[in-house]
Amino acid sequence: MEKNKGRSRFIVLCVAPAVILFVIFMIIPTLNVFRMSLFERGAYSPDETFVGFANFKSLVNDSNFIRAMQNTILLIVVVTMVTFALALVFAGILTRENIKGKELLRVIFYIPNILSIVVISGIFSAIYKPENGMLNSLLSMISGHEVSTLWKGEDLVMLSLIIAMVWQAIGYYMVMYMASMAAVPQSLYESAGLDGAGRVKQFFQITIPLIWTNIRTTLTFFIISTINMAFLFVKAMTSGGPNGASEVALSYMYGQKDAGLYGYSMAIGVVIFLFSFLLSALVNKVTKRTPLEF
* pLDDT tens digit sequence for 262-289: 899 999 999 999 999 999 899 988 888 7
CA separation for the pair 102, 73 (Å, rounded): 35
CA distance readout (Å), 22 to 16, 29, 189, 277: 10, 10, 45, 18
Q: Which domains does the chain have, with CATH numbers?
A: 37-286 (1.10.3720.10)
pLDDT mean over 79-96: 93
Decide if pLDDT at 156 tops 90.
Answer: yes
What sign does the CA torsion over 148, 151, 153, 156 have? positive
What is the chain's Cα-based Rg? Answer: 24
DSSP-based helix, strand, coil % in the chain, nearest 5? 75, 0, 25
DSSP collapsed to 3 states, 196-252: CCCHHHHHHHHHHHHCHHHHHHHHHHHHHHHHHHHHHHHHHHCCCCCCCCCCCHHHH
End-to-end CA distance of the chain: 41
Q: Are 51 and 62 in contact (CB under 8 A)?
A: no
User: pLDDT per residue over 7-46, tens digit each?
Assistant: 778 888 889 999 999 999 999 998 998 999 999 876 666 7
In the prediction, which pLDDT does 8 show? 79
User: pLDDT per residue over 120-150, tens digit each?
Assistant: 999 999 999 988 889 988 888 888 888 888 8
In the prediction, which pLDDT does 42 show? 67
